[in-house]
Amino acid sequence: MKDFKLPSPEEIKKIVTDSPIWRSVFRGGVWKDTPRDRAAHIIGNVWLHLHPVRTRLRGLRFIYSWGMGGISFWLFLLLTLSGVLLMFYYRPAVDLAYRDMKDLQFVVSYGWLWRNMHRWAAHAMVVTVILHMIRVFLTGSYKPPREFNWVLGVVLLTLTLFLSFTGYLLPWDQLALWAVTVGTNMAGATPLLGNEGPFSSLLGMRINNDVRFALLGGTAVGEATLIRFYVLHCVFVPFVVGAMLMLHFWRVRKDSFSAAPYSANEEKVEVWPNLIVREYLAAALTTVAILVWAFMVNAPLEGAANPTVTPNPSKAPWYFLGLQELLVYFDPWIAGVLLPNLIIVGLCAIPYIDNNPKGVGYYAYKERPFAWTMFLLGVTMWFVLIAIGTWFRGPSWAWYWPWESMLTHKPLPPRTWNVPNLLGGPALLAYFAGGLALPRLLKKDLDWKVVIPAVALFSVAVAIAVKIAHAVFISNLPPLAQMLPHLDPASLKYGFVSTLLGIGDGMPHFGIGSFVLVSIFVFLLSFFGVLMPQRYIRNMELLRYVAAMLLVLLTLGVLMKMGARLGFNIKYVFSIPQVNFNI
Amino acid sequence: MSPTIKKLFVWGNVALVVLLVLSVIRDQSGEWKKYQKTYYQLEAKELETKLAATTDETEKESLKKQIRAKEHAGLEIKQFIVKDLGRIDRCVTCHVGMDPLFNPTLTNNFTEQPYKAHPGDFLKTHSPTKYGCTVCHQGQGLATTVKDAHGFVEAWEKPMLGHPFIQASCAKCHQNFESLPGAEVAADGRGLFVKNGCYGCHAVKGWGGVISEDLGEVADKPLARIDPAAFAANGLPRERWSAQSWITLHLTKDPMSFVPGDPEGHMSAPISPSGMPPFYLELKEDEAKAITTYLLSLTAEKESLPHKFFVDVPVKPEPAFKSATEHGKFVFQKFGCAGCHGVEAKAGRRNFNALGPNQTKMEDGREPTLPDTVGTFTRDELRAKIQNGVPSVSINKFKTDGPTPPLYMPSWKEKIKGQELEDLISYLLSIAKKTEEW
């Protein structure tokens, strides 16, 4: 007995890994860390075999990939795990759902942890998916042969938002009820299919048979909505997302894994351990971040849902606040249906419009200035709109500066006015026709050193012209109410005089702020809408050019309308109320 | 692998393990555990003093066993599942002394919360297993932390009722609360509500005036329907924002100061401030508390209580009166005329921007002081006035382009009739100031 020695860890490892049980479970023999072992580890493992065996180091760099695709997938797995655990306690019924949330918070072991993690991981996933898309755009990784995978990515982004949105309702608190009410009301404005949308009467849409009704399972958010959203959130959408992810990953792998360009004699490194450790790190550090977040901040839970008590303001989830803010500038069917669909279609169309072969697999602002500028302009506008909706809108959606308390009361906003159709119609036509034609008609290369100051001067000149017109025609007019006390201002919508009076009411002053605003917006429009396309895409083939310019003009159009509404109280530039066509 | 990745690998894993351990610790250290543990320790200590005093061996053995049991008692969530009310109350998780399962006598010698037994003998007649806790006390029965459970948190609009407001809960079931021992404050509140003529403007479940809100469910008033600026202006911290504070504010501060309206029309057309007269000038602090207590009993929860919980009371017949004027005085009070014309019709109360005597600003607007005015009416004119009322558009304004005065005389045709009307008129004519006869 005295000769007995405990086996060393190395010996134990050998005994275990050589045992028939181990050998039957794991393929391959003893791990010797040879290149063959490392390759076999990838090929022979069902979870890892989607990876190549060897890959190029430059595709692995964090600064290249940001790791956002992988992190999004990890968050999806984390959400699935936490979601399944929450499902053990949560019952989707109006009498029980809210109480179950309280139980999770107070008495279920680790209920607080899983719920907090689920909530924050969901927000984080929306962010990482968007960042992933931005990175893929900036490195041109959607260019052939990866166009379709970009489209799948856009679909996955939409599904991510929908997953998050359907989950929003489940706690059945005031936040849930009203955010979903706001969100689904937009669906009611769908043209043809929503009972408040244009042309819906043609299909016989009523409040109880339109697309909103289908979404809610009723005319208002209630029991049926809860079970619908529950099934969508827990079963249907995750299933679709899972299937799409398989496709997405499969295409990544088949399209040679990374778009980073090849260079001669480039050294390849083994995926095990070089990529696997990075993936593990991304997952681990993401988990650490979500855990810390879950420790520091509890997931919000307001009072129990009460359909008879509307909080003021009622805000949609943050990622839809941009669309809710758009409601200020456009009718619901445009803000809530047309524009989001155009964004999705426009994003999908990008790889098919952009035929610039340069800048695949690296950050190439110099080689793709137009694509970068327009994409980043769109992304910036999206987040600016979200920021406005989140921090600048208070009760009754009034504008509050960050230094103003939301407890103070705001005067009613000034009266808005419509540009008469005789003026607005041609202006709108000129905007699109001129916007399409002008960059293509100017055949010469323009010298920006000369043109940009000239455009700046032009912008100021426009502002001066507007100021003079305002001084001559409008500012001397007495307010509408005084001039026509016996007339209902609404009935005066179409007369030219009444329009002038309406402007006078809505815009009694044209001060220095308005002056600067006009100059800036005219300059932005000229620069992004004319100079940029003139320089970079005027020689595109016609169909591509038109598609690209339409996206550019629509994006800038939204910006211009925001300026017109915020700065000058213009409600509609062109309006045919009979068919709900108001721009 | 680069050194950076190696470092990240090590520290990332360390952070992960630390966080997982921390989450176990945090989950295992529920706030309630220390209270429950202390309760058992206090009980063990009591048994130990008993043990030191006793000499009987068998009793000693038994006591030792009991002490061991207390010291090793497992900590657990304790709760009342109240089927009748659809409530789950976890209050006894900390307040162990109030749980009949662990303290069958429902008495103990501890003096401090959360260890002491329930004061009074309420639990003898209101078994907590049948009624739970929150049906009377309010607060958040599902919660297990001090702050959340007592309900002074943002997402809970019914925090615990303190003294004397808890008496509101007696009145939820005991319809006879006006003669119920222990509900004196609520009863006083109801008396003051009638005496000050609150009924004149505020109906309760349809009985009373139409000028302002029906208070039948005022205890449930959601915060979303209250201007938060009113709380902020009175220095109430966020956790005190509640229906209770809202009611109390109306009785202890000038309602005009925190519902200022927009009489100058800065925002849009002029809006008059709250029309509620400044009762704070007439009410003492405990009177305001009493009225608040009564009003807090007016809740829709009543509707969902099982009918067997209700203690009903026969309708009290009105007292008999010796004279017509005495009956008229009673009618004056019954219909809440005092709300605008003052207790016992002594002086008209404030009515913003109504034209009153000796006026310098809109705030000085007054309802008529009846002894000064009724003398100018004949019996028939007075009858017509009461029956038809004075709509707000017919009230003379102090500032013509200012807001419409908020108070007006509603038409009483459907409410005050027959003998009540005649005797009311007799009463009013009896208090008229005698003008000098020429």
Q: What is the pLDDT of residues A77-113, one digit of tens each?
A: 999 999 999 999 999 999 999 999 999 999 999 999 9
Residues of A in Cβ contact (< 8 Å) with B36:
none
Q: Which residues contact B235 (CB under 8 A, 6 or more apart)?
A: none
Separation CA A178–CA A314 (nearest Å): 6
Among the partner residues B23, B143, B225, nearest to A106 by beta-carbon distance:
B143
In this predicted structure, the answer to whether residue A234 has a pLDDT above a threshold of 70 is yes
Q: Which residues of chain A have a Cβ shorter than 8 Å from any chain B Cβ?
A: 95, 99, 102-103, 105-107, 109-110, 112-113, 173-174, 273-274, 277-278, 280-281, 284-285, 287-288, 291-292, 295, 301-303, 306, 309-312, 407-412
**What is the CATH architecture of A54-260+267-397?**
Up-down Bundle (1.20)
Which of the residues B4, B27, B145, B401 would you substitute to probe the A interface, choosing the one with the greatest number of A C-beta atoms within 10 Å?
B27
User: Could you tell me what percentage of chain A is helix, strand and coil, using 3-state DSSP and rounding each to the nearest 5?
Assistant: 65, 5, 35
The answer to whether the beta carbons of residues B252 and B271 sit under 8 Å apart is no
Separation CA A26–CA A39 (nearest Å): 15
Sign of CA dihedral B34, B36, B42, B48: negative
Name the residue with tokens 């360009």.
A261
Nearest CA in chain B to A275: B1
Q: What angle do CA A188, A191, A194 make, to 5 degrees?
A: 25
Grouped pLDDT means (10 residues each) for chain B, 438 residues: 89 96 94 95 94 91 94 94 93 95 91 92 91 95 95 91 95 90 95 95 92 94 91 89 94 93 82 93 95 96 83 81 93 93 91 86 89 90 93 88 91 92 94 72
Local confidence band at A496 (pLDDT 50, 70, 90 cut-offs): low
Residues of B in Cβ contact (< 8 Å) with A107:
77, 90, 142, 144
Residue B15 half-sphere exposure toward CB, CA atoms < 13 A? 17
Q: Flag if A112 and B145 touch (Cβ within 8 Å).
A: no
Q: Flag if A106 and B266 touch (Cβ within 8 Å).
A: no
- Nearest partner of A553 among A432, A452, A461, judged by Cα: A432
Q: Quote the percentage of chain A above a pLDDT of 90.
A: 60
Write the secondary structure of A398-442 as one string of H (helix), E (strand) and C (coil).
CECCCCCCCCCCCCCCCCCECCCHHHHHHHHHHHHHHHHHHHHHC
B4: exposed, middle or buried (C-beta count within 10 Å: 0-12, 13-18, 19+)?
exposed
Q: Flag if B23 and A291 touch (Cβ within 8 Å).
A: yes
Residue B278's alpha-carbon distances to B256, B275, B290, in angstroms, are 8, 9, 17
Q: Which option is the CATH number for B161-315: 1.10.760, 2.40.128, 3.30.70, 2.40.50?
A: 1.10.760
In this predicted structure, the answer to whether residue A362 has a pLDDT above a threshold of 70 is yes
Higher pLDDT among residues A478 and A531, named by residue: A531
Q: B19 — contact with chain A (CB < 8 Å)?
A: yes
Local confidence band at A47 (pLDDT 50, 70, 90 cut-offs): confident
Local confidence band at A195 (pLDDT 50, 70, 90 cut-offs): confident
The answer to whether the beta carbons of residues A540 and A546 sit under 8 Å apart is no
The two structure tokens encoding residue A415? 């009266």
The answer to whether the beta carbons of residues B143 and A103 sit under 8 Å apart is no
CA of B260, closest CA in chain A: separation in Å? 11
Mean pLDDT of A339-354: 95
Q: Flag if B157 and A303 touch (Cβ within 8 Å).
A: yes
Per DSSP (E only), the strands in B12-169 are 80-82, 87-89
In this predicted structure, the answer to whether residue A159 has a pLDDT above a threshold of 70 is yes
Check residue A501 and give its pLDDT.
Answer: 65
In this predicted structure, the answer to whether residue A548 has a pLDDT above a threshold of 60 is yes
In this structure, the number of other CB atoms found within 10 A of the CB of residue B190 comes to: 22
- Nearest partner of A501 among A411, A412, A415, judged by Cα: A415
Q: Flag if A99 and B8 touch (Cβ within 8 Å).
A: no
Please count the helices (runs of H) and the strands (runs of E) in chain A.
24, 4
Q: B235 — contact with chain A (CB < 8 Å)?
A: no
Give me the residues of B, 322-361, that contact A with CB < 8 A. Answer: none
pTM of the model: 0.90
Check residue A41 and give its pLDDT.
Answer: 85
In this structure, the number of other CB atoms found within 10 A of the CB of residue A247 comes to: 14
Phi/psi region, residue A256 (left: phi>0; alpha: psi -120 to 50; beta: rest), is: left
Higher pLDDT among residues A510 and A501, named by residue: A510
Residue B298 half-sphere exposure toward CB, CA atoms < 13 A? 22
CA of B258, closest CA in chain A: separation in Å? 12
Which of the residues B225, B258, B262 would you substitute to probe the A interface, choosing the one with the greatest number of A C-beta atoms within 10 Å?
B225
Check residue A489 and give its pLDDT.
Answer: 52
CA of B217, closest CA in chain A: separation in Å? 14
Structural class in CATH, domain B317-438 = mainly alpha
In this predicted structure, the answer to whether residue A380 has a pLDDT above a threshold of 70 is yes
Assess whether the region B161-315 and the region B317-438 belong to the same CATH fold: yes
What are the structural domain ranges in chain A? 54-260+267-397, 421-582
Among the partner residues B140, B222, B267, nearest to A309 by beta-carbon distance:
B222
Nearest CA in chain B to A288: B16
The two structure tokens encoding residue B300? 């829709």
- Complex ipTM: 0.89
The answer to whether the beta carbons of residues A314 and A136 sit under 8 Å apart is no
For chain B, state the CA radius of gyration.
30
- Nearest partner of A416 among A347, A329, A345, A355, judged by Cα: A329
Check residue A272 and give its pLDDT.
Answer: 86
Mean pLDDT in chain A?
Answer: 89
Which of the residues B2, B4, B7, B8 would you substitute to probe the A interface, choosing the one with the greatest number of A C-beta atoms within 10 Å?
B8
The answer to whether the beta carbons of residues A163 and A233 sit under 8 Å apart is yes
pLDDT in tens, A427-483: 999 999 999 999 999 888 889 999 999 999 999 999 999 888 888 777 766 655 555
